[in-house]
């Protein structure tokens, strides 16, 4: 397994006293190394953000799958845990910002890794937009005054979609400012937010389970409008697939983490494990405590309806306020991860305007230009919501497909390396002199299953189902939005690589 940096990385600088391992990869310490174990965990957990994503997509999962969609949660969790285990091995060996790009480049080659990074960062920008849209699911339910546009708060209505875009842009302005200020400020907000989210999630679980209206056996029932169990589960799995992404962010923040070779692998797995457990119990609790499974509210208003109806307006709104905090912190964390990916690729002179994107403010330890780029592009995507309410689902599904594909572009080359005997997982020690995290003899089967699972879910999510992506009809571009967006992303990447090859590398000032 090679430990050399990509071919057109800048020459090795002198060793940094902050972390000797960076010099090994040809980089110097520019980002401020100030994150401890809990902050590293918070980076991955806040990207996943069970309160944000479960509240955002619960109604969709229930509408298509009925109560049985609950079982997609443990299925997706097992699949993603296998992916996370592979990433944990890589985080121990390559503790570098731009994790997906760096890992894929070193397991395959720079060109393949570049496309993995390119797809990943575009996907992350779409995730930022999708996370910001989640405010619409909770703010109007807390107070009608948050409905700034029109009167219908439903995100699938024209008023709700437009209002979601307005609220999302306001949130993006705030998260962009935080991503420019200082990484210590960002870390404090992240940790406080994650702590509040975990406490809120536990309270929601306890209250929902103590207000149960039915037994867990209901989870074996399909919805009234279901066209078949398999189809219901395939579409119902969208929620779980959307929730359990971003655990690699703990590795993304490696250059800012103390003892990253030891810390990052464990926090990657801990973030996904904690989110998986809490999210699964919230979904189950919501199904058990809903006042009715057939009045239509659960498939439109989702968990916000359950909280306010079952727990009362006062308690329900207080818990929804905690969900707002989770959404804000999740948007911040996702934007931070995208910034680190842009920074890492620009540092290797792999993007337009690389010199500006790779510049780190020595006082704040933050790359400011990437924060502005991610914020502006994510806000631009939100404008699609003004075109049609169907954009909400199109944006959400597109970001999942992009990330799943990028993940497969890591687990695929990693499996090839294992089969060739070039990745044993047993080499090296961490900062405390202990063996690096390794799957040992389970490496090949876990890696192979992780790859198969990832590719299967990518196809499932991208499949242009008219009933899902264009239920009202007349918007063919939403039905094919995910595939079109992916083709445009790859096409633009190919065009840039072609221009770069013919004009030579550029790093505009």
Contacts of 411 (CB under 8 A, 6+ apart): 83, 86, 447, 450, 451, 454
Q: What is the 3-state secondary structure (H, E, C) of 177-229?
A: HHHHHCHHHHHHHHHHHHHHHHHHHHHHHHHHHHCCCCCHHHHHCCCCCCCCH
The whole-number pLDDT of residue 457 equals: 93
Burial (CB count <10 Å: 0-12, 13-18, 19+), residue 507: middle
The CA R_g of the chain, rounded to the nearest whole Å, is 22
- Cβ-contact 436, 430 below 8 angstroms: yes
Q: Is the dihedral of CA 119, 125, 129, 134 positive or negative?
A: positive
Assign 456 to helix, strand or coil.
Answer: helix
pTM for this predicted structure = 0.89
Q: Which two tokens stand for residue 94?
A: 């390559």
- Containing 171, the helix (H) or strand (E) segment is helix 158-181
What distance in Å separates the CA atoms of residue 135 and residue 52, rounded to the nearest whole number?
Answer: 8
Crossing angle between the packed helical segments 481-503 and 443-462, to the nearest 10 degrees: 110
Q: What is the DSSP letter of 35?
A: B
The whole-number pLDDT of residue 334 equals: 92
Crossing angle between the packed helical segments 313-347 and 368-382, to the nearest 10 degrees: 130
Each of the 509 residues of the chain gets a pLDDT tens digit; together they read: 444 444 443 333 333 333 556 888 888 888 888 889 999 999 999 989 888 888 878 988 888 888 999 999 999 999 999 999 999 999 999 999 999 999 999 999 999 999 999 999 999 998 999 889 888 888 888 888 889 888 888 777 788 888 989 999 999 999 999 998 877 888 889 899 999 999 999 999 999 999 999 999 999 887 654 456 777 778 888 889 988 999 999 889 999 999 999 999 999 999 999 999 999 999 999 999 999 888 888 888 888 888 888 888 788 888 889 989 999 999 999 999 999 999 999 999 999 999 999 999 888 888 999 999 999 999 998 888 777 777 767 777 888 899 999 999 999 999 999 999 988 766 778 888 888 999 999 999 999 999 999 999 999 988 888 777 777 777 788 889 889 999 999 999 999 999 988 876 554 44
């Amino acid at each position: 397994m090679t430990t050399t940096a990509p071919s057109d990385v800048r020459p090795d600088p002198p060793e940094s006293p902050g972390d000797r391992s960076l010099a090994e990869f040809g980089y110097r310490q520019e980002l401020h190394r100030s994150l401890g174990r809990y902050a590293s965990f918070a980076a991955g957990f806040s990207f996943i953000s069970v309160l944000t994503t479960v509240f955002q997509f619960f109604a969709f999962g229930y509408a298509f799958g009925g109560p049985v969609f609950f079982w997609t949660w443990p299925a997706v969790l097992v699949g993603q845990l296998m992916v996370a285990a592979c990433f944990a091995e890589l985080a121990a060996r390559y503790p570098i910002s731009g994790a997906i790009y760096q890992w894929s480049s070193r397991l395959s080659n720079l060109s393949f890794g570049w496309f993995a990074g390119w797809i990943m960062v575009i996907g992350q920008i779409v995730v930022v937009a999708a996370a910001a849209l989640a405010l619409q699911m909770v703010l109007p339910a807390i107070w009608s005054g948050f409905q700034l546009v029109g009167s219908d708060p439903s995100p699938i209505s024209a008023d709700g979609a437009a209002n979601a875009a307005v609220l999302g842009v306001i949130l993006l302005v705030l998260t962009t400012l935080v991503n420019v200020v200082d990484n210590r400020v960002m870390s404090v907000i992240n940790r406080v937010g994650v702590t509040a989210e975990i406490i809120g999630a536990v309270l929601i679980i306890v209250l929902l389970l103590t207000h149960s209206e039915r037994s867990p056996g209901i989870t074996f029932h399909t919805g009234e409008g279901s066209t078949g169990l398999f189809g219901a589960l395939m579409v119902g799995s969208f929620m779980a697939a959307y929730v359990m992404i971003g655990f690699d962010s703990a590795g993304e923040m490696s250059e800012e983490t103390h003892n990253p070779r030891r810390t990052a692998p464990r926090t990657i797995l801990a973030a996904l494990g904690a989110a998986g457990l809490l999210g699964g119990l919230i979904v189950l609790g919501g199904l058990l405590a809903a006042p009715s499974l057939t009045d239509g509210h659960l498939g439109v208003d989702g968990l916000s309806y359950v909280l306010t109806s079952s727990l009362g307006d006062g308690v329900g709104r207080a818990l929804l306020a905690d969900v707002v905090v989770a959404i804000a912190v999740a948007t911040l964390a996702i934007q931070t991860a995208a910034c680190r990916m842009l920074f890492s690729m620009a540092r290797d002179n792999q993007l337009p305007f690389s010199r500006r994107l790779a510049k780190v403010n020595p006082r704040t330890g933050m790359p400011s230009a990437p924060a502005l780029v991610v914020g502006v592009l994510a806000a631009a995507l939100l404008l699609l919501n003004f075109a049609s309410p169907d954009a909400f689902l199109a944006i959400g599904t597109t970001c999942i497909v992009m990330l799943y594909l990028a993940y497969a572009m890591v687990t695929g080359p990693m499996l090839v390396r294992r089969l060739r005997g070039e990745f044993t997982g047993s080499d090296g020690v961490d900062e405390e002199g202990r063996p690096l995290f390794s799957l040992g003899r389970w490496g090949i089967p876990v890696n192979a299953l992780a790859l198969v699972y990832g590719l299967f879910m990518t196809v499932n999510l991208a499949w242009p189902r008219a009933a899902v992506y264009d239920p009202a009809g007349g918007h063919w571009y939403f039905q094919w939005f995910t595939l079109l967006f992916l083709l445009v992303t790859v096409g633009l990447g190919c065009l840039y690589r072609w221009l770069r090859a013919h004009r030579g590398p550029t790093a505009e000032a």
